[in-house]
Amino acid sequence: MPETIKLSLRGGDFEAVVLKDGSGPPLLYLHGAVGQKGWAPFLSTLAEKFTVYSPYLPGYAQSTGLEKLDDVTDLTLYQFELLDALNVSKTHVVGHFLGGMIAAEMAALSPSYVDRLILAAPAGTWRDETPVADLLALTASELQAELWSSASSSMSLSTADFEANARLRAELAADRMTDLTAAGKFLWPIPDRGLKRRAYRIKAPTMILWGENDRIIPPIYTEDFTNLIPQAEVHIIPNAGHLLMIERSEVFAAAVADYLS
């Protein structure tokens, strides 16, 4: 079980809740806009080889201070403050969706903090012909359906994955409004917020992971990121939707661990 670390940053403007487990080189995991946050089985697998830090972003769960962050740059600078408070000077960074966008911004704004970079279905670009799903217009049940690869995919899940999914669905229903209130600040109405002007500074070895059936950000968006980060490797995970690290927990954790080892 991970330990819960509570940090007070910037004179109390932010109360940050971070889940930590494992040993080995540090790995910062930044969760996505909606659907998964906190701890999950794939993080337990990674904790066998790494010291995993999984913070709740401001505005999520008990982490506060969202109103002090006006834009993507503010949210990125906050991550460095968090790492400083954790005494981590350089770390692997794995980010999903909104967290992937922030992970890429970290590697661009301050490359020395980032060892290797893994972006799982990251936000941060826009394609007119294949828009990112409109998360604000989806009802809870519509969102639930869109997050997964397909309705039948749960039939092939392991027991552990199935239980994780069930927990996630309950959490999603309860937290959707607050989680998307926070995410809307950085992703709405168009998630193209300047990463393309800054990505040239990303020097970290980078892997891009995508679920082949992602209906929130279609896999065609991998092209945006390979254009922005030419050294990046791409790994498409079959039979996975937007929540690839939940749906294909073991495959996801193995791909991450292999790349970082």
Partner 1 sequence: MKLCFFHLMPYQDLPDSFEKDYHSVWVDAPNSLFNPQKAHHMYNDFLDELEYAETMGFDAICVNEHHNNAYGLMPSPNLMASSMIRATSKAAVVVLGNSLALYNPPIRVAEEMAMMDVMSGGRLIAGFPLGTAMDTIFGYGQVPATLREKYTEAHDLVMRAWKEREPFAFNGKYSQLRYVNIWPRPYQQPHPPIWVPGSGSLETWDWTIDNDYVYCYLSYSGYKVGKTILDGFWDQMENKGKEFNPYHAGFLQIVAVSETDEQAQEYKDSIEYFFKKSLHIPAGFGNPPGYRSVKTNASQSAASTMDSRTKQLSDFTWTDYLEAGNVIAGSPETVRQELTHAVKELRIGNLMLLLQFGDMPKELALKNTTLFANEVMPYMRDIWSEYDTRWWPDGVDNSIPVTEH
Alpha-helical segments (H) within the chain: 41-46, 72-85, 98-109, 140-147, 159-187, 195-198, 222-228, 244-247, 249-260
Q: Does 184 bind partner 1 (CB under 8 A)?
A: yes
The terminus-to-terminus CA distance of the chain in angstroms comes to 23
> Alpha-carbon distance 122 to 102, whole Å?
9
Q: Are strands 51-55 and 14-21 parallel, antiparallel or unpaired?
A: antiparallel
For the chain, the C-alpha Rg in angstroms (whole number) is 17
* Span 83-112, contacts to partner 1 by CB under 8 A: none
Residue 128 touches partner 1, criterion: CB under 8 A: no
CA angle 210, 212, 216 (to 5 degrees): 70
Residues 147-176 that bind partner 1 (CB under 8 A): 176
Work out whether 136 is an interface residue with partner 1 (CB under 8 A): yes
Q: For residue 182, state whether it binds partner 1 (rule: CB under 8 A).
A: yes
Nearer to partner 1, 116 or 193 (CB): 193
Q: 50 burial class (0-12, 13-18, 19+ CB within 10 angstroms)?
A: buried
Q: Are 240 and 213 in contact (CB under 8 A)?
A: yes
Which residue among 144, 154, 178, 226 contacts partner 1 (CB under 8 A)?
A: 178
Q: How far is the CB of 177 from partner 1 (least distance, A)?
A: 5
- Considering only residues 190, 194, 197, 223, which one is a binding residue for partner 1 as defined by CB under 8 A? 190
CB 58 within 8 A of CB 82: no
> Whole-angstrom Cα distance, residue 60 to residue 31?
10
Residue closer to partner 1 by CB (options 242, 248) is: 242
Min. distance of Cβ 62 from partner 1 in angstroms?
A: 14
Whether the Cβ atoms of residue 58 and residue 64 lie closer than 8 Å to each other: yes
Question: CB of residue 239 vs partner 1: minimum separation in angstroms?
Answer: 28
Q: Is 133 in the site for partner 1 (CB under 8 A)?
A: no
Given the complex with partner 1, which of 80 and 188 has the nearer CB atom?
Answer: 188
Q: Binding partner 1 by CB under 8 A: which of 15, 20, 73, 188?
A: 188
Of the listed pieces 81-89, 154-162, 180-188, 191-199, which binds partner 1 according to CB under 8 A? 180-188
Residue closer to partner 1 by CB (options 84, 142) is: 142
Residues 7-36 that bind partner 1 (CB under 8 A): none
State the residues that interact with partner 1 by CB under 8 A.
Answer: 66, 70, 135-139, 142, 176-182, 184-185, 188-190
